[in-house]
Amino acid sequence: MSISNSPLKELYLNKADCVIELPEWLLPPEKIEEYRATPGLAIVEIAGRDSVAAAVKSAEDEGFTDLLPTYVYTGTEHGPWESVERAVDHLARRLPQVCVHDMIVLGSPGFWQALNGRFISKLISKYGFSTPCVGCHLYLHTVRIPLSIMLGEVPIIAGERQTHDGTIKVNQVSEALDVYQNLANDFGVRLLLPLRHVSEGTRITEMLGFEWQAGKEQLSCVLSENYRGLDGSVDATARQVQRYLEEFAEPCAKKIIESYLAGDIPDHLEIAAQVLNASSKRSSLSSGLSAPSSIHRLSS
């Protein structure tokens, strides 16, 4: 469905809360039944080239016959929407034997704000750092869980990679990827990360079958690389990221998704505040924890 279609354009531009109450023009009841009756269906997270390569690899490894592209808005992205549509076109051309369905757009600004915006000062004082990137990726994965469950707990495919030709991204360290997958698993949903251990960009190009420069032909984020120092290094530790996720972001996201699945639109900020208050009453670290492991300095 093209952005030129006025309902989709209105949804994307206005960014309403669209997680469980999807308009029928976007996902009609008959399509829900069709998807539920399709055993080889998987949801694809559409972003840049890694997301398309992940879908290609998963289709080949898992034997998926149908792929449902999904795009989730955050409020921080910018650039031509056509890049999202081109990504779906690339996927369909790369896998002619697979049925690539019309894209579904989802999102919740309130959910994103609860994890990444409202409590920045508190998170900095509590964990010694704050970056929206980790919570944003958690949001991008978990906000698709209700759709997955609606369609019969179908797998979700994401393009996360632990390293990118040796470069570390704080939102894709091993500790973060474990939390993303474990949270989805708590709801009976498989979050597939087929590129998790693929570091070389040349292998991504091989999977795609055509040249696609990293970071190009996709929407950009106004907060990109906010966690890097002037020299490109990352000062946060893996332990800080883990604590932020386990003590705040993961339980917050879980409660929010539980509320959605109960048929409610959550009070995202209230849930986040409750989780933060409860966490503040507990000891932040037990005496038996090992020393923090540093995220490697990024290569230039």
3-state secondary structure the chain: CCCCCHHHHHHHHHCCCECCCCCCCCCCHHHHHHHHCCCCEEEEECCCHHHHHHHHHHHHHHCCCEEEEEEEECCCEECCCHHHHHHHHHHHHHCCCCEECCCEEEECHHHHHHHHCCCHHHHHHHHCCCCHHHHHHHHHHHCCHHHHHHCCCCCEECCCCCCECCECCHHHCHHHHHHHHHHHHHCCCCEECCCCCCCCHHHHHHHHCCCCCCCCCCCEECCCCCCECCCCCECCEHHHHHHHHHHHHHHHHHHHHHHHHCCCCCCHHHHHHHHHHHHHCCCCCCCCCCCCCECCCCCC
Looking at the domain assignment, is residue 134 inside a domain? yes
The pLDDT of residue 24 is 94
Looking at the domain assignment, is residue 31 inside a domain? yes
Average pLDDT over residues 235-253: 88
Q: To which residue do tokens 């949801």 refer?
A: 43
Higher per-residue pLDDT: 168 or 126: 126
Expressed as residue numbers, the domain containing 47 is 6-109+130-230
Looking at the domain assignment, is residue 15 inside a domain? yes
10 Å Cβ neighbour count for 168?
17
CB 46 within 8 A of CB 69: yes
- Residue 250's closest CA among 196, 152, 175, 159? 175
Looking at the domain assignment, is residue 255 inside a domain? no
Looking at the domain assignment, is residue 236 inside a domain? no
Looking at the domain assignment, is residue 254 inside a domain? no
10 Å Cβ neighbour count for 119?
21
pLDDT at 208 over 80: yes
pLDDT at 254 over 50: yes
Q: To which residue do tokens 């999202």 refer?
A: 84
pLDDT at 92 over 90: yes
On the CB side of 251, how many CA atoms lie within 13 Å of its CA? Answer: 15
The pLDDT of residue 300 is 31
- Amino acid present at 11: L
pTM of the complete model: 0.88
Average pLDDT over residues 57-64: 96
pLDDT at 288 over 60: no
> How far is residue 204's CA from residue 198's CA, in Å, rounded to a whole number?
8
CATH number for the domain including 225?
A: 3.40.50.620
Looking at the domain assignment, is residue 1 inside a domain? no
Q: Tell me: the pLDDT tens digits for 131-182?
A: 888 899 999 999 999 999 999 999 999 998 888 777 778 778 889 999 999 9
Distance of CA 178 to the CA centre of its chain: 13
pLDDT at 227 over 70: no
Looking at the domain assignment, is residue 253 inside a domain? no
pLDDT at 222 over 90: no
Strand 220-221 and strand 77-78: the pairing is antiparallel
| Total domains in the fold of the chain | 1
Q: What is the overall mean pLDDT for the chain?
A: 85
The pLDDT of residue 99 is 97
The pLDDT of residue 253 is 97
